[in-house]
Structure 1
Amino acid sequence: MGDSEDRHTAAARLRLLQQEFTTPAAQRDPSPRTPTNRPPAAPIDLGILDYMAASVAEVIEHTRTAAPDAGPAPAEPAAAYEWMHQNTADAAPEQRSVRDAMVFRQSLKHALAMGDETVIRREPCPRCACWSLFWRHTTRVAACVNRGCVDRCGRPSTWVLAQLAERHVAARNARSRTAT
């Protein structure tokens, strides 16, 4: 999977978050409501809105750091990834690797925010290279379930999303360098 596919996947996942998780849900229970002393709940998940705003702000901040002369950011949140790529295409290889890792990490986070944990299982464990990673909700890490893949204390190997993204981008770059 190349950086172009990662970029488009991240944008598509952010667009799906925006469409499906920030639109008001239809009333599920048509029964009459009883009055309460509480104010009504927000019709959309405000946490998802905050999450989306933080993701786009991170993309904009990275782009402005790597390319201070970049034009205005797009109004559409999902278009921020293409805008970042266009404005950082001539950046140093290290900056492009950081950019690509950030995009891949955000793509994983978008999928997890929608409840899709299978994206973690599609990545090999950085320690044992097995396809044995599972997402832990409570600690927000990917854990390897291979019994032989443990840390110095004998606990399962765990990885944060940034580590998985950095490894993913480094492996992709190594494959592209050795391709004939």
Structure 2
Amino acid sequence: MGIGDDTAARRLRLLATEFTTPARRGSAEVAAARPAHPSAPLNLGIIDHMRAAVAEVVGQVRETAPDAGPRPEDDTAVYAWWRDGTAHLDDDAQQAREAIIYRQSLEHAIAMGDHDVIRPNLCPGCGCVGLMWDRLRRHVACVNRYCVDDLGLARTWTLAQVAHHHVGQKMLKKSAT
């Protein structure tokens, strides 16, 4: 296993089991007009998110370790398959792999509506704890009033940047011990 745990796989499994069915409407909406067409029996946005995540992992495995063997049937097993198939790669390649897995773990949590997963991460700019998810821009923003860009606005980061910084910090701690 990599430096992370199996959080990405657990969150992907949770998405598949709990977040693919559309929300049921309560009795307060009974008087509302009925749609002309019934809604999809699954949450298509979550299905698309899950497929894209698995396709990204499969593409990365095929690119970095073409001899990794067949893709697992269970979508949640692709992360372990990726780690097993690329365990022989150098530290930089493994760090890049772990950053993608961590980014996907954050994306899975955000897809479930859990934006608090961003807060414990350290800001890549100032190193403080206090990041927040900006839903409109789909970026992470630092709340430290001294962590600003050239225009004086709060610095923002992509999930990939936050994941890369997070995994880099973990790798430093791992190599220091």
Return the offset for 1:92: 2.0
The equivalent residue for 1:3 is: 3
Query: Does the 8 A contact of 2:134 with 2:140 survive in 1?
Result: yes
1:139 maps to: 137
Corresponding residue for residue 69 of structure 2: 71
Deviation at 1:47, TM superposition (A): 0.8
Q: Is the 8 A contact 2:148 2:154 kept in 1?
A: yes
- CA pair 150-4 structure 1, distance change in 2 beyond 3 A: closer
Equivalent in the alignment of 1:41: 39
Shift of 1:82: 0.8
Distance 1:159 1:138 in 2: 13
Distance 1:43 1:13, change over 3 A: same
Q: Distance in 2 between matches of 1:42 and 1:163?
A: 35
Match of 1:52 in 2: 50
Kindly indicate whether the alpha-carbon contact (under 8 Å) linking 2:4 and 2:98 is maintained by their aligned counterparts in 1: no
1:145 CA displacement: 1.2
> CA 1:35/1:104 → structure 2, altered by over 3 Å: closer, same or farther?
closer
State the distance in 1 between where 2:37 and 2:45 align: 18
Letter in 1 for 2:21: T
Cα RMSD for the two superposed structures:
1.8
Alpha-carbon spacing, 1:159–1:35, altered in 2? closer, same or farther (3 Å) = closer
User: Residue 4 of structure 1: CA displacement?
Assistant: 4.0
TM-score for both structures, normalised by structure 1: 0.90
Q: Give per-residue Cα distances to partners, 1:54-104, cap 9 Å, x unaligned.
A: 000001111111111111111211111111111111112221111000000
Query: What's the CA shift for 1:166?
Result: 0.6
Which stretch of the first structure deviates more once superposed, 43-52 or 19-28?
A: 19-28
Instruction: Give the distance between the partners of 1:166 and 1:34, measured in 2 at CA.
Output: 47
Unaligned runs of 5+ in 2: none
Q: Tell me the number of residue pairs that the alignment of Structure 1 and Structure 2 aligns.
A: 175
State the identity %: 46
Query: Aligned to 1:142, what secondary structure does the other structure show?
Result: strand
Residue number in structure 1 paired with 2:102 = 104
Runs of 4+ in 1 over 6 A off after TM superposition: none
Whole-angstrom CA distance in 1 between matches of 2:175 and 2:34: 65
Amino acid at match of 1:60: V
Equivalent-residue separation in structure 2 for 1:28 and 1:134 (angstroms): 31
Which amino acid letter does the alignment assign opposite residue 65 of structure 1?
E
Q: Structure 2 counterpart of 1:48, which letter?
A: I
Residue 129 of structure 1 is matched in structure 2 by 127
Instruction: Evaluate the alpha carbon distance shift between residue 35 and residue 119 of structure 1 in structure 2; reply closer, same or farther with a 3 A threshold.
Output: closer
